[in-house]
Amino acid sequence: MDGVEVPKRKIRPGSEHMATWIELFYDLIFVAALLIFSSAASHLRVSQSLWIVAVFAASWWVWFTTTVCANRFHMSDLTHRVLLLCQMLLIVLMATESRASVKGHTALLCSEFGLLLGTLAVMHARAARLPTSDRLYARRLAALSAIGGVIFLATVPLPEDWRLGVAGIALLVLLPAALVSLSALAPLSEADEDHIVERMGLFTLIVCGEAFIEVAITASHQTITGIDIVSLIFEFVLVFALFTAYFEDIPAAGLLQRRMALWALAHMVAQGGIAAVGVGASKLVDLNDAARLPDSEILKLTVPLAVVYLALVVVGACTRRRPWRFLAISRAVAAGAVVVVGLVCWAIPFVHLPEALPLFCAVAVLNAAAVVRLRAGTVVAPA
């Protein structure tokens, strides 16, 4: 409008790759995948849900590895976009197949993940030819991804038990090896550090939004009752408190590159916990009478919420915010308070999940307020 100066975002040299449109579109595919994962987990037993968690972790690893590749090598040509398109399709197929694979039909899932690793191998093989100081990292990731892809594709004709064993061992070896390979990266520039922190923040935002959407979609499938409204309010307040506690601190706190692997792993755990909180809250709107919910449902909310706060303790320790210990203590206290509330409500016969919800919300809101207050007394150390 006339007389109003519109502020322009300053783009530093070399940062034109930051949060590009293709990356944002790539993230949208994970919105769909997370909704499918959450929907599948909400209808399974705890032991079966752990399989969904494993599939989520495998998909997350592909997202993070692809993000690091974009961060370090800034590729955006046609071939790279075709590889991303293939990844998007395979991620959605994996998410769709995850629920069926719980019943023992994992051949298709393993073949899809093997093809995903193949795209990573090609992507990093192309990056290894670029004249950068990160060629060693690219060669390592290309080799790891290629070996992993061959192993997963080779498991397809095996019997189910053998397939699960070989695929599980391969995943347990590949994920740590890929994270350890991050130590081969050259020092991050200011623009690259901003980019990787921003990308992780965007993915955390996606998970927060998905957790609330999961409850809202479940409520939309039936007549709205009082407990449905309580669940929506609970999930909205809780997610907004977690959002505040994270974004008031982590994105602006930078990153200690020597702890990048731990920073990434802790983010994966926190994001998975946030998604699990959404699944736990959605159980309330699946039933007509909240009093009929088993008391164990309280623990299904208690555990992931406590895990989120503990994971954020680790994330904070991997940033350049100083001092970080008081923020870590506030999150550890919040995790302890969540456990106490959950155990007390589980042990008291006449206290059910609806009565526990306001207490969980109170813990989350108090922690968010503490983070805002404590952050004001900190600084971010230079890289």
- Over residues 325-345, the pLDDT tens digits come to 999 999 999 999 999 998 888
Render pLDDT for 279-293 as a digit per residue (tens, 0 to 9): 777 666 655 544 455
pLDDT at residue 8, as a whole number? 38
Q: Are 208 and 243 in contact (CB under 8 A)?
A: yes
Do residues 158 and 114 lie in contact, with contact meaning Cβ atoms separated by under 8 Å? no
- Please tell me the pTM assigned to this model: 0.88
Q: Is the dihedral of CA 315, 27, 73, 247 positive or negative?
A: negative
Q: Measure the CA–CA gap between 204 and 67, rounded to whole angstroms.
A: 14
CA–CA distance, 48 with 103 (Å, rounded to integer): 9
* 296-317 vs 353-375: helix crossing angle, rounded to 10: 10
What residue ranges in the chain does DSSP mark as E strands? 321-322, 379-380
The pLDDT, as a whole number, for residue 68 is 94
pLDDT given for residue 219 in this prediction: 61
Residue 232: in which H helix or E strand, if any? helix 226-247
Determine the Cα–Cα distance for residues 325 and 101; give it in Å rounded to an integer: 42
CB-side neighbour CA atoms (13 Å) of 383: 12
pLDDT in tens, the chain (383 residues): 444 333 333 434 444 544 478 888 888 888 888 888 877 776 667 667 778 888 889 999 999 999 999 989 988 888 999 999 999 999 999 988 887 777 777 889 999 999 999 999 999 999 999 998 899 999 999 999 999 999 999 999 999 889 988 988 998 899 889 989 998 899 998 989 999 999 999 999 999 888 877 766 766 655 656 666 766 777 788 889 999 999 999 999 999 999 999 999 999 999 999 988 877 776 666 555 444 556 667 788 899 999 999 999 999 999 999 999 999 999 999 999 999 998 888 888 766 666 777 888 899 999 999 999 999 999 999 87
Exposure string over 318-357, b if 16+ CB within 10 A, otherwise e: bbbbeebebbbebbeebbebbbebbeebbeeeebbbbebb
pLDDT at 17: 47
Backbone φ and ψ for 321, nearest 5 degrees, come out as -75, 135
Residues in a beta bridge with 379: 322
Give the residue among 175, 194, 74 at the shortest CA–CA distance from 132: 74
Confidence (pLDDT) at 34: 86
What letter represents residue 44's amino acid?
L
pLDDT of residue 333: 97
pLDDT at position 225: 61
